[in-house]
Structure 1
Amino acid sequence: MSDISQSQRQSLPATTPPRSTGEAAKTIIRRGAVFLLLAALFVLFTLAQPAFLTVSNLMSVLQAVSVVAIIGAGVTVTLAIGGFDLSAGAVAASSVMAASYAMIVLGFNVWQTVPLVLAFGALVGLFNALLIVRLKVPDLLATLSSMFLLTGLQLIPTAGRSISVGLILPDGSTATGKYDPLFLLIGRSSLLGTVPLPVILMAVVAIALYVLTEHTRFGRLLFATGGNEIATRLAGGNTARIRTLAYVLSGTLAALGGIIVAARVGRGDVSSGASLLMDSVAASLIGFAVLSLKRPNVLGTTVGAVFVGILLNGLTMLNAPYYTQDFIKGAVLVGALALTYGFGRARA
């Protein structure tokens, strides 16, 4: 038989060369960078302090990061549409004050307080959406304005005082209410005495939002809106409604985080939300590196929150000076992101 002609060889379908073992290893490292570092932290902290790897300590870590993960999940939804909710921390802080004021001053019980505070968060999200969707204010500017409004608003009813039992009101009278014991259980109770209720709430929120964003038409429209809003609109997607729902969801979840904080500390502290925004945003952005997805995702946000919580808990147990912890946290996170985005990239 004659040899295959040049033209015949050119018409044959091209075959993809098999990936080398090195390339496969690089892909595994990129996709699992955060998990590899998390496993390394577990080994390091357990060897240095055996008490680290106990059920009670791990549950304590999860309880500590639950609020950040819940608020971060809401921020993640706004990132998915190409926005950014800077008011999330202020909503959570205002929700702490609102829940405390409702019970201490107004005498509400848990069944009145929780829906009221969740509705408050949803209304803030709706207000943000009004500014962004209807008035065309850029997301960062709109939510930054809401943040300042809420930061000042939460101080007015009590003249800047924290809220606790026996609060002296601006008119000189004394508040006679108290925290509903059922409300305090939200932040302090545990399932079977082992798994704290805030951890269960975090898991429920993470699973529900993961299904919503990754396995539903609404989730596909979220990411489509963030990728190309005009194309999504031309394809029949109601982008105004999608963006509105994203901010309402973010506000509601931030309010839920505030409820958990209020139930845990039993006090309306005016400084309770000081670090919630940055921690939640950090968890959301770390989520980009999880599984090398390089996009907002709720699973990654939850893993990011747990990652930071494990790191800080381990450093605390090792008696690392407080003034070095932020630096170490930043160095480890830079390493995770570098492995995800830069390791093994093909040269131009």
Structure 2
Amino acid sequence: MTTIDDNTLPQASVRPKTLPQSGGSRLAALGAFLRAGAVFILLAALVVGFTIAEPAFINIANLMSILQAVSVVAILGAGVTVTLAVGGFDLSIGAVAASSVMAASYAMIVWGFDAYATVPLVLAFGALIGLVNAFLIVRLKVPDLLATLAMMFLLSGLQLIPTAGRSISAGLTLPDGSKATGAYDPAFLLIGRYSILGTLPVSVVLMVAVAVFLFILTERTRIGRLLFATGGNEVATRLAGASTVRLKTLAYVLSGTLASLGGIVIAARVGRGDVSSGGSLLMDSVAAALIGFAVLNLRRPNVLGTVAGAVFVGVLLNGLTMLNAPYYTQDFVKGAVLVGALALTYGLGRSNP
């Protein structure tokens, strides 16, 4: 019998000694850490800086006000994130939210519905819009940008027709000359104005609930993996046996439903159906979703990143407002933050070949 001793083993099988980490490797690891946590590091720096400049910034009431202000943007941004996951894009979310504000107001003030009938009705309206978007995109093969852009224009005009272009409030004069006799249900107004234990706004609770639900759906379930697979390679996903039609439909229905939820929060907060509501929601929610790409250096749509992006912009704008920065600089600041986040994600965050 032939015996094999250690000296006859191939050299490759001998475990090499662990070499100390070089300075270049440490710098690369530090760079990767900074890229992954850049948004959170900048957020912490903003909070510290604004607190030093204006101590009232760190008050719990102001922090809750920031979260309440960004809750709608985060909810809508979560819907955008889901459509991005399947390789799509929903331009109609702002119009869906604005139409939902008008629909909720019309249901209560003109039809006399209470909160328990209005909320399901408006959510169903958003889901229906998402279903129509999915039909145009999946069945009729209309490009997603064109389909949702057309829906945006359609809803922007449709919401004005029932009231002849007027905002909806108690005592509204209808186009036929009659007076609306309904009013906002106090239970409905609690959604936008009530704070649990006097501190935590209901809208913030809804934002957190949406974020947790979608995080579990997209990151911890088979459906979530298939959503991202559809966005990465739709043909391969279909050949693997998944129904990309159903996955895309689910994404757009979720987006429409979340946009309606955002509209409900706005209506409950404002207490009227304002025709100008939702004007900036599209751009703000898209910005939050894109900033989320830089969170943890994932470079892909992710719900927690979207929420972090919304909070980041909210903290920045609130701090600038407290420091009496001119209001007309806000759009520039949001644009600069978005450009920086994208540069960090796709430029500095790119691995060396």
* TM-score calculated relative to the size of structure 2: 0.93
Count of matched residue pairs: 345
- Counterpart in 2 of 1:227? 232
Task: Give the alignment of 1:52-67 within 5 angstroms.
Answer: 52-67=57-72
From 293, 300, 323, give the equivalent of 2:328.
Answer: 323
Q: CA deviation at 1:8?
A: 5.0
- Counterpart in 2 of 1:23? 28
Give CA-to-partner distance per residue, 1:143-175, whole Å, 9 cap, x none: 111111100100000000000001000001110
- Counterpart in 2 of 1:123? 128
Quick check: 1:118–1:256 contact (8 Å CA) kept in 2? yes
Structure 1 residues 108 and 227: CA distance shift in structure 2, 3 A:
same
Which 10-residue stretch deviates more, 322-331 or 99-108? Answer: 322-331
Quick check: 1:29–1:340 contact (8 Å CA) kept in 2? no
Q: CA deviation at 1:344?
A: 6.7
Q: Does 1:140 align with 2:141?
A: no
Kindly, what percent of the aligned residue pairs are identical? Answer: 75
Which 10-residue stretch deviates more, 292-301 or 14-23? Answer: 14-23
Task: Give the alignment of 1:1-348 within 5 angstroms.
Answer: 8=10, 18=21, 20-343=25-348, 345=350, 347=352
Structure 1 residues 15 and 133: CA distance shift in structure 2, 3 A:
farther
RMSD: 2.0
Give CA-to-partner distance per residue, 1:123-162, whole Å, 9 cap, x none: 0000001111111111111111111110010000000000
Measure, in 2, the Cα distance between the counterparts of 1:176 and 1:14: 83
Measure, in 1, the Cα distance between the counterparts of 2:352 and 2:79: 37
Give CA-to-partner distance per residue, 1:93-112, whole Å, 9 cap, x none: 00000000000000000011
Q: Which runs of 5+ in 1 are unaligned?
A: none
Q: CA deviation at 1:346?
A: 5.1
Q: CA deviation at 1:51?
A: 0.3
Quick check: 2:290–2:342 contact (8 Å CA) kept in 1? no
Measure, in 1, the Cα distance between the counterparts of 2:116 and 2:34: 48
Q: CA deviation at 1:326?
A: 2.3
Q: Which runs of 5+ in 2 are unaligned?
A: 1-6
Quick check: 1:33–1:340 contact (8 Å CA) kept in 2? no
Quick check: 2:172–2:180 contact (8 Å CA) kept in 1? yes
Measure, in 2, the Cα distance between the counterparts of 1:345 and 1:218: 28
Question: Which residue type is aligned with residue 177 of structure 2?
Answer: G
Quick check: 1:31–1:340 contact (8 Å CA) kept in 2? no
Q: CA deviation at 1:341?
A: 3.3
Question: Which residue type is aligned with residue 134 of structure 1?
Answer: R
Which 10-residue stretch deviates more, 208-217 or 13-22? Answer: 13-22
Q: What SS class does the counterpart of residue 342 from structure 1 fall into?
A: helix
Measure, in 1, the Cα distance between the counterparts of 2:125 and 2:337: 37
Shift >4 Å, 4+ stretches: 7-19, 344-348
Question: Which residue type is aligned with residue 96 of structure 1?
Answer: V
Measure, in 2, the Cα distance between the counterparts of 1:344 and 1:235: 31
Quick check: 1:75–1:84 contact (8 Å CA) kept in 2? yes
Measure, in 1, the Cα distance between the counterparts of 2:347 and 2:120: 46
Structure 1 residues 14 and 132: CA distance shift in structure 2, 3 A:
farther
Q: What SS class does the counterpart of residue 306 from structure 1 fall into?
A: helix
Q: CA deviation at 1:333?
A: 3.6
Q: What SS class does the counterpart of residue 112 from structure 2 fall into?
A: coil
Question: Which residue type is aligned with residue 234 of structure 1?
Answer: L
Q: What SS class does the counterpart of residue 76 from structure 1 fall into?
A: helix
Q: CA deviation at 1:14?
A: 9.2
Q: What SS class does the counterpart of residue 260 from structure 2 fall into?
A: helix
Measure, in 1, the Cα distance between the counterparts of 2:36 and 2:51: 25
Give CA-to-partner distance per residue, 1:203-261, whole Å, 9 cap, x none: 00000000000000000000000001110000010110010011001000000000000
Quick check: 1:26–1:343 contact (8 Å CA) kept in 2? no
